[in-house]
Structure 1
Amino acid sequence: MNILVVNDDGIQAAGFEALVKALSEAADVYVCAPDSQRSAKSHSITLGQDVTIEKTDFPRAKAAYKISGTPADCTKIGLQFFAEMGAPIDMVYSGINMGSNLGRDTLYSGTIGAAAEAALSGVHAVAVSVDDHEAVHFDVAGELAVAAIDLVYGRLEPSVVLSINVPNLPREEIRGIKFVPLGDKRFYDDKFHLVEGNRYTLSGQPGGFHAADDENDLAAVEANYAVITPLQMDLTDYKTLEIIKKWSIHI
């Protein structure tokens, strides 16, 4: 099996190296990653300007590229270039992200965006994240990533992105695994702040989050569970669609 590993933290990220190492024990791994940090790029691709694509060496990878583009660019480039060299990709893994991708984070996440590009290309995709921007515990996330190969490939629809989020804790402190939906009760307390002249920068923190149970991804990770959530690319609200079909609008 050929697995493409991509990310949004950049090719130098510790979580990225940990994921490549874990997956290399089960498959042939190929790498395509940004040359530096590209978080919160969502599913953006580079248009109207060139992307630099450079061959590089990466531990335990059969071949690797680092690029100047977005995480989704990495997926597009990896799928194309490795197929052209005779290694068509069977699965795409995105991560291990330094920081969780829970609830509404998935709308902004370059990690999810890179996996979504694979799903839109008809290739099985898994996104893996650890809930800390200074994460050091990658072993459980790596093991879940490897376990997902046989659970996802040929079993789930390629249009599904499987999102795995793991607390940044030693194995013995993780309470188990929950299969849960996205939570939507956390908001961001962020603003653009003046730096100098007409230059501003966005900064802030997630707002407070409190839940009575752990039956969504936000609450479950807060309660020290690893969580697995299937994501779909179809954004249609089918319930509301049936309502608006009854509207009296004419042209």
Structure 2
Amino acid sequence: MKLKRIVVTNDDGIDAPGLAVAERLAAELAEEVWVFAPATDQSGMAQALSMHHPLRVGEHGARRYSVTGTPADCVMVALGTELMDGARPDLVLSGVNWGHNLSDSVMYSGTVGAAVAAAHFNLPAIALSQAFTDRAAFDFAVTETWARAAVEALWAAREAHGCVWNVNFPTGDPARIQGLRFTRQVGGSMASPRLVEQQDSRGQSYRWIAFERGLEAVDHAHSDAVALREGYVSAMPLKRERCDEARLEAVGVGHEWPLGDTPATARGAG
């Protein structure tokens, strides 16, 4: 596998260790590697776009740019500016995120959001995330060992099985990885929101968003969470459409329900 051009982005920011891992991976797979990453940590931004402030682009060496925006903004800058001279990438890699993106986290992930943003423009994209047991001890050994094989396998299968994927790498010894398992998203890892209240130096309160987590409660045999627990690399196909097709079929595609008489307030009464 040797591509012409890969765009690399992430949600942890231009200086994140995982971005360097993704850049090295991309350099093995493509002739040109272009980096468009957020200037600061943009975790949890999903597919958000910056509609109310301008985007500033900074240069960080050849073909490396920071963007004062979200991961999805970075994809827009890569595709919508003159920086790449109008050339389209063959593949977008998003990550490598420090921390898994499984179960409920998939919907909030900026790493995944960038991949789905690329899919809106019919670009193959893969979100890459590395699970950890110690947030402070950066260890991408499993990703560095197995990411190329995973990406090449998904690239080869793109015509038959889609071209946008959420890939998670487990912790542990790279030599003990069991293989690549195709999985589905199963909810249940976010039990409830938790707002942590603190005070600033002036005595004013503020809050950090957190969650009561329960990833261990996700026990569906084909879930991404179980795959990682069992030592597999998890690969879940993504799509840009959010329509629940099964439920739509159940209610009837195109079926119309009357809403009743127009409310009096809408008729200008009173």
Q: TM-score, normalised by structure 2?
A: 0.82
Residues 133-212 of structure 1: matches in 2 within 5 Å?
A: 133=135, 134-136=137-139, 137=141, 138-144=143-149, 146-148=151-153, 150-151=155-156, 157=162, 160-196=163-199, 197-207=204-214, 209-210=216-217
1:26-175 correspondence runs (5 A): 26-27=29-30, 28-57=32-61, 63-81=63-81, 84-85=84-85, 87-132=87-132, 133=135, 134-136=137-139, 137=141, 138-144=143-149, 146-148=151-153, 150-151=155-156, 157=162, 160-175=163-178
The separation in 1 between residues aligned to 2:159 and 2:184, in whole angstroms, is 22
CA drift of 1:51 comes to 1.4
Of 178-187 and 24-33, the range deviating more from structure 2? 178-187
Q: What's 2:258 paired with?
A: 249
Alignment of 1:1-20 (within 5 A): 1-20=4-23
Partners of 2:63 and 2:238 in 1: CA distance = 29
- Quick check: 223-232 or 38-47, which moved more? 223-232
After superposition, the Cα gap between the structure-2 partners of 1:212 and 1:70, relative to the gap in structure 1 and judged at 3 Å, is: closer
Q: Which stretch of the first structure deviates more once superposed, 121-130 or 136-145?
A: 136-145
**3-state SS of the aligned residue for 1:92?**
strand
Q: In 2, Cα distance between the equivalents of 1:12 and 1:188?
A: 32
Larger radius of gyration: 2
How far is the alpha carbon of 1:17 from its aligned partner?
0.3
8 A Cα contact 2:43 2:110, kept in partner? yes
Q: CA deviation at 1:84?
A: 4.6
Q: Contact (CA 8 Å) 1:72, 1:113: kept in 2 or not?
A: yes
Q: How many residues align?
A: 245
Amino acid at match of 1:185: G
Cα gap change, 1:42 to 1:183, in 2 (>3 Å): same
Q: Give the drift of 1:190.
A: 3.6
* CA separation of 1:188 and 1:8: change in aligned 2, threshold 3 A: farther
2:92 corresponds to which letter in structure 1? V
Residues 98 and 63 (structure 1), Cα distance of their counterparts in 2 relative to 1, 3 Å cut: same
Q: Could you tell me which of 211, 214, 223 is aligned with 2:230?
A: 223
Identity %: 26
Offset of residue 109 of structure 1: 0.2
Instruction: Give per-residue Cα distances to partners, 1:59-118, cap 9 Å, x unaligned.
Output: xxx511111100100111012236652543221110111111111111000001111110
Label 1:177 to 1:237 Cα distance change in 2 as closer, same or farther (>3 A).
same
Does the 8 Å CA contact 1:31/1:65 hold for their aligned counterparts? yes
- Determine the C-alpha separation between the residues in 2 that align with 1:70 and 1:141: 28
Q: Secondary structure at the match of 1:242?
A: helix
- TM-score norm. by structure 1 comes to 0.88
CA RMSD of aligned residues (A): 2.3
From the superposition, tell whether residues 82 and 115 of structure 1 become closer, same or farther in structure 2 (CA, over 3 Å): farther
